[in-house]
Structure 1
């Protein structure tokens, strides 16, 4: 089986749990999937992710240097193609058996297209619009062809075929003048964002490896959090470390640690459990993984830009959009947990709803304050959230929930 191309089978671990190069019989209606399949992230996928470290860095820098709300919107818009390329690759390689050579070549080819997109970001609304769109088109073709050969979809009109058309549209729109280009790209991005909602119900038969996919999305959160540490560290190397600057660096690092803890202490295991027990896993892949994790990453990108500003000049009184970057990023990040928790289990915890509201209040108070002030308040808020949840869980006290519905994985 390992010599065949793209059979839709899981990669199962041996008894010792070390091997991931085992194939399964591709017979039966479920294409040989096993409910006990275990697939781990490969070295090739980790190398592939390095390109998206560069992508997150480019987008975060574009947000940081952007002028006003229009500049912020244009920067965030460029993240959408990167996200769909990465998500498409994560889904493509979930449960797919393929020879190592072909897997590596395909991953490297997609990574190469994404790398071209990365170097096009600074001038995407200038002379590199076609280059950015063309590279995205290549990535969508590289994703779409093997998915068709794998026969992963039972219908021709699916997210991957629509993605190829979207890539072509991004390329053609790159020929437009900058003002028209941004609106054309916005329209295309909105269509792409709507595709999982419009076509998602047609893909509910798909099954996913419950170990591999949560691990892949968790690694992207690590990529985004790594961007915050990079920005903090680079800022610290270019300033004189007086008392205020040193305190700001320390508080920014604490906030980054708090954001990591908020996801990985309890959230990461919850996503894997939800995918295992969900009656229709594709519902969670659309909502909690595709949309939810996109919001997580956007929140981290905004927070990273805000922390960079605080580290660069802790005493600066920021105004307008720049004053709201840090708080809005943290608010979006925490609020997204409420959304994903509702989609998975039907309810959001009072602790995270309260923390999201608290972060929103701090955001509203941020304009005119020294940059260090909202940074310190948000760090204290995130640490308090994690401390309260840790206390309740470790002492056996349940986290009180605001119940909304049954949830895809049940309560």
Structure 2
């Protein structure tokens, strides 16, 4: 599902009766022509833009890994919220945007620059770089408002873009507060931003989205997060002898990372694209399965990455407290999120993934006091067993085992 761009966008849309194999972009207005062959692909500029968020995920994952206790974990994950909403806002606004390649690239690079400043501010965001972190985020929000105005994304004055401008300014001003007060102010602002799609998201309902480009972009962010698992275990393996327990931990961690990739991209990615194509109101999926669901996917991967890095660095050690729970909680959150996304898309959750998420929780509860290698092996075996069983079940032509709870946005 994740593809690499082969060429950049045209400056103008392809006419409805033409199909020369080149990318087709349509304005998000009623008068825009609709090509039956319209496909918007990820561009080189977007891939470069994503590199900044590779750095951002690395910074947040490192903060999670070195944090001491639940407070540090919460503060670290809190910093990921503005990164996520900046990336989601950019992905949605640039989906179907009709603008020249030069303007598109300049806007993307400008937003990437703001995100880069945010990234370098992460280690000291609760210290001297609070204003820099918040100010860079506010800058990204201003640029996204410019893009939204170009695209004419909203018809109402009060909308997610105008709301984000207010919260962005408050993120910057909160950076002036003492560290203890700042964290609570940012937490309140994060809660407001997380609730905004629920409160104002219905104003997206009239918008059209390219059903190839949007799932591809969100899939690419899952790849970014999964890349952090490889970076974490790779760095641990670089400084350890690759024999005995250390070599086993490195191998098992890599297998687990592959299993997490398979869990999403074997069936989940194509299901998300199909759901977006057939949904009566695609925006309902954009603000639920994509915005919220993929946030949970990425947070789960970040937690798992931190846990895997610690397991590879000290496989025979007995982690305690929050560090003992990172790996299992990350895998359980990641697996359980598939249940949520499938329910909102198709109205039912897979029995296999419900069971797998519950078993991952059991392993998480058992993890404190065990050698770090033990839960790593158990979770890797669980993920591989889940994928192997689903592959067997689907290829044998058997009906899906679903817990039906209602009617999803894309039907059943």
After superposition, the C-alpha distances for 1:340-395 in whole angstroms (9 at most, x for unaligned) are 00000000010000000000000000000000000000000000000000000001
Task: Give the secondary-structure state (helix, strand or coil) at the position aligned to 1:265.
Answer: helix
Task: Give the secondary-structure state (helix, strand or coil) at the position aligned to 2:349.
Answer: strand
Q: Is the 8 A contact 2:28 2:96 kept in 1?
A: no
Residue number in structure 2 paired with 1:164:
165
Residues 33 and 82 of structure 1: CA distance in aligned 2, closer, same or farther (over 3 Å):
farther
Report the TM-score, using the length of structure 2 for normalisation: 0.95
Residue number in structure 2 paired with 1:311:
312
Q: Does 2:68 correspond to 1:67?
A: yes
Residues 137 and 398 of structure 1: CA distance in aligned 2, closer, same or farther (over 3 Å):
same
Residues 98 and 56 of structure 1: CA distance in aligned 2, closer, same or farther (over 3 Å):
same
1:5-404 to structure 2, matched below 5 A, reads: 15=19, 17=21, 19-20=22-23, 22=24, 29=30, 31-34=32-35, 36-404=37-405
Task: Give the secondary-structure state (helix, strand or coil) at the position aligned to 1:338.
Answer: helix
Q: 1:150 offset after TM fit, Å?
A: 1.9
Q: 1:203 offset after TM fit, Å?
A: 1.9
After superposition, the C-alpha distances for 1:193-220 in whole angstroms (9 at most, x for unaligned) are 0000001122211110000000000000
Q: Is the 8 A contact 2:328 2:379 kept in 1?
A: yes
Q: CA–CA distance in 1 between the matches of 2:44 and 2:15? A: 15
Residues 172 and 13 of structure 1: CA distance in aligned 2, closer, same or farther (over 3 Å):
farther
After superposition, the C-alpha distances for 1:269-306 in whole angstroms (9 at most, x for unaligned) are 00000000000000000000000000000000000000
Q: Is the 8 A contact 1:328 1:363 kept in 2?
A: yes
Q: 1:84 offset after TM fit, Å?
A: 0.4
Q: 1:232 offset after TM fit, Å?
A: 0.7
Q: CA–CA distance in 1 between the matches of 2:405 and 2:15? A: 36
Task: Give the secondary-structure state (helix, strand or coil) at the position aligned to 1:402.
Answer: strand
Q: CA–CA distance in 1 between the matches of 2:383 and 2:14? A: 38
Q: Is the 8 A contact 1:13 1:37 kept in 2?
A: no
Q: CA–CA distance in 2 between the matches of 1:147 and 1:295? A: 26
CA RMSD of aligned residues (A): 1.8
Q: CA–CA distance in 2 between the matches of 1:13 and 1:378? A: 52
Q: CA–CA distance in 2 between the matches of 1:16 and 1:318? A: 58
Q: 1:222 offset after TM fit, Å?
A: 0.3
Structure 1 consecutive aligned stretches of length 4 or more whose deviation exceeds 2 Å: 1-4, 9-17, 26-37
After superposition, the C-alpha distances for 1:167-188 in whole angstroms (9 at most, x for unaligned) are 1000000000000000000000
Q: 1:104 offset after TM fit, Å?
A: 0.7
Question: Number of paired residues?
Answer: 404
Gaps of 5+ in 2: 1-8
Q: Is the 8 A contact 2:307 2:323 kept in 1?
A: yes
Q: Is the 8 A contact 1:38 1:211 kept in 2?
A: yes
Moved more, 38-47 or 238-247: 238-247
Q: CA–CA distance in 2 between the matches of 1:194 and 1:44? A: 30
Q: CA–CA distance in 2 between the matches of 1:193 and 1:27? A: 25
